[in-house]
Amino acid sequence: MREKIILQDFTVLLVCTSQKWSTVERRVLFDSTFLRNIGCNPIIFCQKGSQLDKAAESEDIPRFYIKKKKLDFYLGIQFLFELRSLIQEKRFDIVHCYTLSSAWVTSFILQWDQKIPFFFTLNQNVNSFYQNLFAKWLLRRVDYIFTLSDEIKEFVEETFPVHSRKIVTLGGGLEVLKKAARKEEVQTLGCIINDLNELKRLRYVIRTFRVLKKSHADTLGALELNIFLGPRIYQKDRFKKFLTEFDYEFYEGDIFLLSLEEKSYLLKNLDVFWGTAFDEPLNDYEIVCIMNEIPVLFPRTSMRQNLLFRLPWVGESYYQGDIREAKTKLEKIINNYNVYRSSLADSSEKIQQYHGLDYYAEQLQRFYEKAFSKRRIAADK
C-alpha cells in the first residue's frame, strides 16, 4: 500500500527566468505563498530586480538569483551551471518551472537525478512544434505539465510529444472580486497595461475609444475609459514619453490613469474589460472579470477563441491593431449588454468552480504528493 505523502517541510524550488509581470509570474508568487501557508519551504530562482523578485520580497519569500540577465539561443550556459549546482546540493524535494526555456534546461539536468519530482506550468505562446526525439527525451523527465485552462491543455497536446495523462488543468486559481451593483448600460471600459508591448498597444485602445464615442456621441457621451497601469509601467520613462505624446487625449476628462497596485479594487466597477495581453494564451485578469460577470473584449488567440466557443456570450475578440474590428465588437457588447451579463450570470458558478482558489490549490497539492510518492517508491526499489 502506498504511503500517504504530506507536503509539510518540503523544500520546493520554483524557477522563473522571465523579467515580465504577466499571468505566469503571478502564478509563481501565488504558488509560493500557498506552499508556505501549508508548511512547505518555497524558494524562487529568478532574475534580481525583476517584478517577481520585488513581489516575492514583499511576501518574504526567499530567492536565489540568476546571474545571466538574458537567456540566449543556447539557453545560457551560465544559467545551466548555476541551476545544476543548486540541484546537486540535494536540498530540494520538488522542482517547478514556469518558462519553457528554463524547463528544457531543468529537464536536461534532472535526467541524472530521478528522485526529484519535476513540474512545469505553461502559459506562454509557443510558435514551434516540438515533436523531435530530443524534445521527447527531455519531456519524459517531466512528471506533470500544468495549464490554466482546457484550451491550453489541448494546445500542449498538439505541440509537445507528451502523453495526455501528464497534462493537468489546474484552472486559474483566482479569487472572485466582490461584485459591484449590476448596471443596465455600459458606462465604464477598462484595460490593464502591464508591460511595454501592451503600452505600445495602448495607442490603439485610445484611438478606438475616441472613434467609438464620436460615432455614438448621442448615446455614449458619458462613456469613460479606466487605464490601470501595472508596477513595471507606472512612473517609467517610456510611459512619461507616451503621456507627452498623447497628452491632448486627456483634456476631455473621460480617460483616467490608475495604479493597478493601489486601485485594483476598482476593477469590479468596470462594465467591459478590454484585454491587451496578446503575448499570452490566456490572462488571469480576463478570467477574474468573467468570474465577476464582466464581459471581456479578448485579444484574439486560438485558445481564447476556443474559450468563446465553449462559453458563448461572455465576450468577443478582436485582432491586434484593428481599430475597426475592436470598435465593432465593443458596439456589439454595448448594444447587447444585458444578454452578455445574463450569460455570464448563468455560467458564473461553473467558471468559479473551475478557476477558483480551492480547486487550484487542491489539484496542485494532490499532484505534488502523487509525483513525490511515485518517485520515492521507484527510488526505493
pLDDT digits (tens, 9 = 90+) for 253-295: 899 989 898 898 899 899 999 999 999 999 999 999 999 999 9
pLDDT at site 238 = 66
Residue 176, pLDDT score: 75
What are the residue boundaries of the structural domains of the chain, listed by start? 11-173+357-380, 188-355
Provide the pLDDT confidence category of residue 191 given band limits of 50, 70 and 90.
Answer: very high
Cα(369)–Cα(190) distance, rounded to whole angstroms? 40
> Would you say residue 35 has pLDDT above 90?
yes
pLDDT computed for residue 186 by the predictor: 86
Highest mean pLDDT among 77-81, 86-90, 107-111: 107-111
Q: What is the spatial distance between Cα 197 and Cα 4, in angstroms, rounded to a whole number?
A: 46
% of the chain residues with pLDDT over 90: 55
Q: Check if the beta carbon of residue 103 is closer than 8 Å to that of residue 124.
A: no
- The mean pLDDT of 208-230, rounded to a whole number, is 93
Of 19-23, 179-183, 212-216, the range with the lowest mean pLDDT is: 179-183
Q: Class of 188-355 per CATH?
A: alpha beta
Among 43-52, 178-187, 339-348, where is mean pLDDT lowest?
A: 178-187
The whole-number pLDDT of residue 231 equals 84
For residue 28, pLDDT over 90 is answered with yes
Amino acid 82: pLDDT: 86
Looking at per-residue pLDDT, the higher value among 203 and 182 belongs to 203
The pLDDT, as a whole number, for residue 335 is 95
- Superfamily of segment(s) 11-173+357-380: Glycogen Phosphorylase B; (3.40.50.2000)
Determine the angle formed by the axes of helices 284-291 and 337-355, rounding to 10 degrees: 110
Average pLDDT of the chain to the nearest whole number:
88
pLDDT value of position 81: 84
% pLDDT > 70, the chain: 91
C-alpha count within 13 angstroms, C-beta hemisphere, residue 153: 17
* Average pLDDT score over residue span 62-89: 75
The residue-averaged pLDDT of 363-380 equals 86
Q: Would you place residue 1 in the very low, low, confident or very high pLDDT band (cuts 50, 70, 90)?
A: very low
Asked if 99 and 81 count as a contact pair (C-beta separation under 8 A), the reply is: no
Q: Which residue has the higher pLDDT, 211 or 4?
A: 211
**Domains 11-173+357-380 and 188-355 belong to one CATH topology:** yes
pLDDT at 180 exceeding the cut of 90: no
Strand 118-121 to 144-147 pairing: parallel
Confidence at 73, pLDDT banded by 50, 70, 90: very low
pLDDT for 72: 53
* Residue 302 pLDDT level (bands cut at 50, 70, 90): confident
Mean pLDDT (whole number) for 129-157: 90
Q: Give the start-end residues of each E strand in 207-271.
A: 224-229, 255-259
Residue 88 has pLDDT above 80, yes or no: yes
Which residue is listed with cell 477558483?
356
* 86 pLDDT higher than 60: yes
149 in helix, strand or coil?
A: coil
* Positive/negative CA dihedral, 319, 320, 326, 330: positive
Give the phi and the psi of residue 273 in degrees, each rounded to 5. -100, 135
- Which whole number is the average pLDDT over 40-69? 90
* pLDDT of residue 212 exceeding 90: yes
